[in-house]
Amino acid sequence: MKAAALSRRDFLKAGSFLAGGLLLPNWANAFAPTKKKLRYKVAVVDLMILKRQKLGALQLTKDIGADGVEIDMGGLGQRETFDNQLAKPEIRQQFIDKAKELNLEICSLAMTGFYAQSFATRPTYQRMIQDCLDTMKALNVKVAFLPLGTQGDLKKNPELRPAIVERLKVVGEMAKKAGVVVGIETALDAKGEVALLNEIGSKNIQIYFNFSNPLKEGRDLNEELRILGRKRICQMHATDEDGVWLQNNTRLDMNKVKQTLADMGWEGWLVIERSRDAADPRNVKKNFGANTAYLKSVFQS
């Protein structure tokens, strides 16, 4: 008598047995591709922990419990370029040595001088950018943060768009030559940023995403992330406006953000900028320590 033919569906459903009763995994699962484990690191901002370009920022970062630090390029004001102490080889080497000693990384360099100054009109912007790129090369840093700031707000000042786009095209070429990415922060929503990036047309200009921007305007943070997509976001300021710690923030569901990033396949640095307790805003170790511990509990567990 012939044995009944076993359909492929029945075979996959039943799994496979070896002689002696040993059960092997279902073949459908055995040959399924394994999902890559995404890696996230947590950093703080030297400016916000009140140690702008201070060597002590590294020890404080370690005490807070973060994996790295975003270092500011220094004040700008009406100077031709940043007041960058890291341009001095001896000071820069101190930072390199201390970071190695403490097993910390410098995740990015920030040009926060442009929060208040105009990227669209400053005549020496190329020198400023080049100084940042040179410092990045010397420190082996791959991401720069460039906020367009209040004077570069493209919602309030749309007439500046042609000048900003033209300048960012130049910056994109400079970044490409240096082998780095310049992450911009704008006042636009995600669709507006996609259009802006398309207009700039450089893979070396990406978005440095700030959680607080969509939150304070009532936009869906997770939808904004999905619209931008993995390849347009270089790094993130993973905090909200000051008031409460991240763990107590009712308008920010960090576990949902983690799932969104997992669905996108995005991994990288989550940089703590704010979310300080309004009742004790200058207690650096307490505020940034709490936020660091919480981000790690969500993204590194």
pLDDT tens, position by position, 156-173: 999 999 999 999 999 999
What confidence tens digit (pLDDT) does each residue in 121-148 have? 999 999 999 999 999 999 999 999 999 9
Q: What is the mean pLDDT of residues 6-24?
A: 43
CA distance 238 to 264: 16
What confidence tens digit (pLDDT) does each residue in 232-243 have? 999 999 999 999
User: What are residue 77's phi and psi, to 5 degrees?
Assistant: 55, -135
Q: What is the mean pLDDT of residues 208-234?
A: 98
What pairing do the DSSP bridges indicate for beta strands 16-18 and 22-24? Answer: antiparallel
Domains of the chain from N-terminus onward = 37-299 (3.20.20.150)
What is the value of pTM for the model shown? 0.88
Instruction: Return the number of other C-beta atoms located less than 10 Å from residue 192's C-beta.
Output: 14
Whether residue 199 contacts residue 226, with contact meaning beta carbons closer than 8 Å, is answered with: no
- What three-state secondary structure class fits 22? strand
